[in-house]
Chains A and B, each alone.
Chain A
Amino acid sequence: MTDASLNNDALEKLTGIFRILFNAPDLELNDDLTAKDVPGWDSFNHVNLIINIEEEFGVRFSNDEVGKLQNVGNLKSLLAGKLTA
């Protein structure tokens, strides 16, 4: 998976969602970022994150897609695919 098609506006918006939900104003979304790197990113907040991304971008992930996410790079690619679909 690549994040080539996630444009700057979408990346900025996605970063904003992470920063707000985890109250981490300086967080940067590197592709290899995972839950263990971000304080507060537990299993409940993972669901919360996905729900908020869906709500803010107006997209819908399948439960299978959500289950396969390993890191932020995966998430960016998945979102990019939804936005260009």
Chain B
Amino acid sequence: MLNDFLRELFTGQFSKALALLESVAKETPTPETLAMLRLAILRPGHTFLTYQRLLNIWSSWGKPALKPNAVLKKVAIVADFTADHFAPMISLFAGAQGVQIETHLPGYDSVEQTILDPHSPLYASQPDIVILFFSERWLKRYAGNSALCKTEDLQRGQESLSGLIQALEAHSHADILIGNLPLSAWPLAGGIITKDGLAGWNQTVSRWNEWLTTLTSRNLRIVDLAGAIFNAGGSAVLGRTNYLRARMAYEMPGTLAVARELAGGLAHICGRTHRAFVSDWDNTLWGGEVAELGSHGVLCGQDSPDALGYFLIQEYIKSLTCLGVLLAGVSRNDPEIQKIFDENHDLPLNLGDFSSLQVSWTPKSDAIGRISKELGFGPEFMVFMDDSLYEIAQVLSVHPYIDVLWAGPDPQGTLDRIAQSRFFNALSLSEEDLQRGSHAALLKEQREFKSSFANIEEFLQAIQVKLTFAPLAENNMDRVIQLFQKTNQFNLTTRRHREDDLKNFSTQGGSVFAISYEDSFGSQGIISVIALQANANTLNIESWLMSCRVLNRSVEQAVFSFIREKAEGKPITGEYIPTEKNGLVRSLFPDLGFALETTDPGTGKQIWQWTNNNQEPPKHFVEIKKL
């Protein structure tokens, strides 16, 4: 069924793909049918009624999460126009990106009343995120209806919005998403004029939008609705008939484009945007097969329309890297074909642009698994593109949460599909986004470096790993708490301690240490936390968690040597509480030389003990520094 669905979705008729989904709507959803629904929702360009059908299917299943670890958010949608139909569509599009929302919609055209009144239902709803977007009529209240707008009138509009933002920040802790303004459905004459403190309407909107981007607040993000409207058809999708009939700021295609853009904004705020673009090579990044045609025989360059199309695909993909998007190459081929990047200088991409390379004859689903391991996040944060529907289906059958794009039938179709998907749309760049690329580059450098050593021990000695153990303090508290909240895999007990818990733990004689990592490639910051409780006869490891990105570097053995030192010869006890996600550390204690004491038959919780019976401490290659 997945194969038939993908064929109809990408190369056949969307209505048939939809009918296939509707045929299973009365059955209990499976990972496969949920993936089908998600992929259908993520395809842009269909009618409102089509997405309403998808919403009905999702609702009939009880709106299950469409991505793993979906986040739940309360979202208030505030607009100066009729925006009732935005709530279901934003909810649908956000759901497909792993953000489940409950919406609150204040009454029509009540922006000021709602935001300025601290007792309004908006604040009573305790939103996590407030979406605030306007029609041009709102700005015209300040700027007037003349073809030329006075600078001071535009400033009055700016002051009004600043006041609304201040009120939102004063009365709520919500993140704020503000939409910028498209131009007019009925363009005014003289739009570009600027003279003596007056500006035409196009110029005024442009100044307004530029001013929005200068607003700085921890909680505030601007969403490019003007861009979304331009991409969806420009003034034709702004409210015309709908505005006259129901004061709706957009026609239906405009509504869908704006809802999709706002949902993307929610995904961005919630950290649910895609982080890696995983692409097949032959007939995806260039036309033809390297093994058949040679490095210079494939299509990519300036020589023909299709060659130019492939050139632009590569250029587009490469452009994503500066936004922190990692590229991975997957090709079922002889590794020898990688030489195309050295030999063919017409290709915009080079081998160094790929943070992970998987060129082998193994199934692509295996390659995706390896990429996930190398990059340090799950397939749900990746987009996989291939010209073969078989390969797409094979990958989805193993990784149902990966999002996919079909490359074809020609390079223009592929380029359109990549651009319209909006998978990588970013509202802002965080330090993490900026560092993701350099982190991946480091990993790659390490992999390459590693290959020149005879064994892992030699390599670890060469990279000079240093761990710094710092007691819990104000300057490391935020990161320590973040690790307690986020770490799932290398986490022996998965206790989600917060600041108060850790302070109580410390006052009751416990010790918490933040462990930072550094090697010859640079620092990785705090990567591990341990919480130790000294009792009369033992030292107990209450919590031990670590970022997976420093695995296999003898870090855990070095941390254990620090714990042994703290035990001062006393036996050390540790707990392992199994969860769905921490199978990675199932064998940590036995590997370190602990013996199993007890296992709770109900929860599976294990108590382990290490005693210093002259046993050889585990070997590590780490220099330890204590603060």
Q: For A55, give its contact among B49, B53, B59 (CB under 8 Å).
A: B49
In whole Å, how far is A36's beta carbon from the nearest beta carbon of chain B? 19
Interface residues of B in 33-86 (CB under 8 A from A): 47-49, 52-53, 56, 59, 82, 84-85
Q: Contacts of A56 on B, CB cut-off 8 Å?
A: 47, 49
Q: Which of B238-246, B325-333, B424-432, B521-529 is found at the contact surface with chain A?
A: B238-246
Q: Contacts of A84 on B, CB cut-off 8 Å?
A: none
Instruction: Let me know if A52 is at the binding interface, CB within 8 A.
Output: yes
B245 touches A63 (CB 8 A): yes
Residues of A within 8 A of B (CB): 17, 20-21, 23, 44, 47-48, 50-52, 55-56, 60, 63, 66
Instruction: Let me know if B252 is at the binding interface, CB within 8 A.
Output: yes
Q: Contacts of A48 on B, CB cut-off 8 Å?
A: 85
In whole Å, how far is B316's beta carbon from the nearest beta carbon of chain A? 31
Q: Please report the C-alpha to C-alpha distance between residue A34 and residue B583 in the assembled complex, in whole angstroms.
A: 59
Chain B interface, number of residues (Cβ within 8 angstroms): 17
B56 touches A51 (CB 8 A): no
Known: A52-B48, A63-B245. A44 touches B252 (CB 8 A): no
Known: A44-B84, A63-B245, A66-B245. A51 touches B52 (CB 8 A): no
Residue of B whose beta carbon sits closest to that of A24: B56
In whole Å, how far is A75's beta carbon from the nearest beta carbon of chain B? 15
Q: Please report the C-alpha to C-alpha distance between residue A44 and residue B241 in the assembled complex, in whole angstroms.
A: 14
Q: Contacts of A55 on B, CB cut-off 8 Å?
A: 47-49, 252
Q: List 9 A-B contacts (CB under 8 A).
A: A17-B49, A20-B49, A20-B56, A21-B49, A21-B52, A44-B82, A47-B245, A51-B242, A56-B47
A51 touches B53 (CB 8 A): no
Of the candidates B48, B49, B82, the one having the most CB atoms from chain A within 10 angstroms of its own CB is: B49
Q: Contacts of A50 on B, CB cut-off 8 Å?
A: 245
Q: Contacts of B59 on A, CB cut-off 8 Å?
A: 23
Residue of A whose beta carbon sits closest to that of B48: A52
In whole Å, how far is B137's beta carbon from the nearest beta carbon of chain A? 18
Q: Please report the C-alpha to C-alpha distance between residue A17 and residue B56 in the assembled complex, in whole angstroms.
A: 12
Residue of B whose beta carbon sits closest to that of A44: B84
A47 touches B246 (CB 8 A): yes
Residue of A whose beta carbon sits closest to that of B251: A51
Q: Contacts of A23 on B, CB cut-off 8 Å?
A: 56, 59
Q: Please report the C-alpha to C-alpha distance between residue A23 and residue B54 in the assembled complex, in whole angstroms.
A: 11
Q: For A52, give its contact among B49, B82, B248 (CB under 8 Å).
A: B49
In whole Å, how far is A7's beta carbon from the nearest beta carbon of chain B? 19
Residues of B within 8 A of A (CB): 47-49, 52-53, 56, 59, 82, 84-85, 241-242, 244-246, 248, 252
A63 touches B244 (CB 8 A): yes
In whole Å, how far is A31's beta carbon from the nearest beta carbon of chain B? 23
Of the candidates A21, A51, A55, A60, the one having the most CB atoms from chain B within 10 angstroms of its own CB is: A51
- What 9 additional pairs, Cβ within 8 angstroms, besides A44-B246, A47-B242, A51-B245? A17-B49, A21-B49, A21-B52, A23-B59, A47-B248, A51-B252, A52-B49, A60-B241, A63-B244
In whole Å, how far is A70's beta carbon from the nearest beta carbon of chain B? 18
In whole Å, how far is B323's beta carbon from the nearest beta carbon of chain A? 35
In whole Å, how far is A74's beta carbon from the nearest beta carbon of chain B? 17
Of the candidates A55, A60, A66, the one having the most CB atoms from chain B within 10 angstroms of its own CB is: A55
Q: Please report the C-alpha to C-alpha distance between residue A63 and residue B242 in the assembled complex, in whole angstroms.
A: 11
Q: Contacts of A17 on B, CB cut-off 8 Å?
A: 49
B53 touches A20 (CB 8 A): yes
Q: Please report the C-alpha to C-alpha distance between residue A47 and residue B85 in the assembled complex, in whole angstroms.
A: 11
Q: Please report the C-alpha to C-alpha distance between residue A16 and residue B282 in the assembled complex, in whole angstroms.
A: 43
Q: Please report the C-alpha to C-alpha distance between residue A17 and residue B244 in the assembled complex, in whole angstroms.
A: 23
Residue of A whose beta carbon sits closest to that of B108: A44
Q: Contacts of A63 on B, CB cut-off 8 Å?
A: 244-245
Q: Contacts of B84 on A, CB cut-off 8 Å?
A: 44
Residue of A whose beta carbon sits closest to that of B53: A20
Q: Please report the C-alpha to C-alpha distance between residue A21 and residue B49 in the assembled complex, in whole angstroms.
A: 7
In whole Å, how far is A2's beta carbon from the nearest beta carbon of chain B? 26
Q: Please report the C-alpha to C-alpha distance between residue A55 and residue B47 in the assembled complex, in whole angstroms.
A: 8
Q: Contacts of A51 on B, CB cut-off 8 Å?
A: 48, 241-242, 245, 252
Q: Contacts of B47 on A, CB cut-off 8 Å?
A: 52, 55-56
Of the candidates B53, B82, B245, B252, the one having the most CB atoms from chain A within 10 angstroms of its own CB is: B245
Q: Please report the C-alpha to C-alpha distance between residue A85 and residue B53 in the assembled complex, in whole angstroms.
A: 29
In whole Å, how far is B103's beta carbon from the nearest beta carbon of chain A? 15
Known: A44-B82, A44-B84, A48-B85. A20 touches B246 (CB 8 A): no
Q: Contacts of B85 on A, CB cut-off 8 Å?
A: 44, 48
Q: Contacts of A60 on B, CB cut-off 8 Å?
A: 241
Q: Contacts of A20 on B, CB cut-off 8 Å?
A: 49, 52-53, 56
Q: Please report the C-alpha to C-alpha distance between residue A66 and residue B503 in the assembled complex, in whole angstroms.
A: 66
Q: Please report the C-alpha to C-alpha distance between residue A63 and residue B240 in the assembled complex, in whole angstroms.
A: 12
Q: Please report the C-alpha to C-alpha distance between residue A21 and residue B59 in the assembled complex, in whole angstroms.
A: 13
In whole Å, how far is A62's beta carbon from the nearest beta carbon of chain B? 10
Q: Contacts of B246 on A, CB cut-off 8 Å?
A: 44, 47
Q: Contacts of B48 on A, CB cut-off 8 Å?
A: 51-52, 55
In whole Å, how far is B317's beta carbon from the nearest beta carbon of chain A? 34
Q: Contacts of B52 on A, CB cut-off 8 Å?
A: 20-21
Q: Please report the C-alpha to C-alpha distance between residue A60 and residue B244 in the assembled complex, in whole angstroms.
A: 14
In whole Å, how far is B257's beta carbon from the nearest beta carbon of chain A? 15
Residue of B whose beta carbon sits closest to that of A67: B245
Q: Please report the C-alpha to C-alpha distance between residue A17 and residue B242 in the assembled complex, in whole angstroms.
A: 18
In whole Å, how far is B95's beta carbon from the nearest beta carbon of chain A? 16
In whole Å, how far is A8's beta carbon from the nearest beta carbon of chain B? 18
Q: Please report the C-alpha to C-alpha distance between residue A23 and residue B49 in the assembled complex, in whole angstroms.
A: 11
Q: Please report the C-alpha to C-alpha distance between residue A17 and residue B551 in the assembled complex, in whole angstroms.
A: 55
Q: Contacts of B49 on A, CB cut-off 8 Å?
A: 17, 20-21, 52, 55-56
In whole Å, how far is B504's beta carbon from the nearest beta carbon of chain A? 50
Residue of B whose beta carbon sits closest to that of A60: B241
Residue of B whose beta carbon sits closest to that of A25: B56
Q: Please report the C-alpha to C-alpha distance between residue A56 and residue B59 in the assembled complex, in whole angstroms.
A: 23
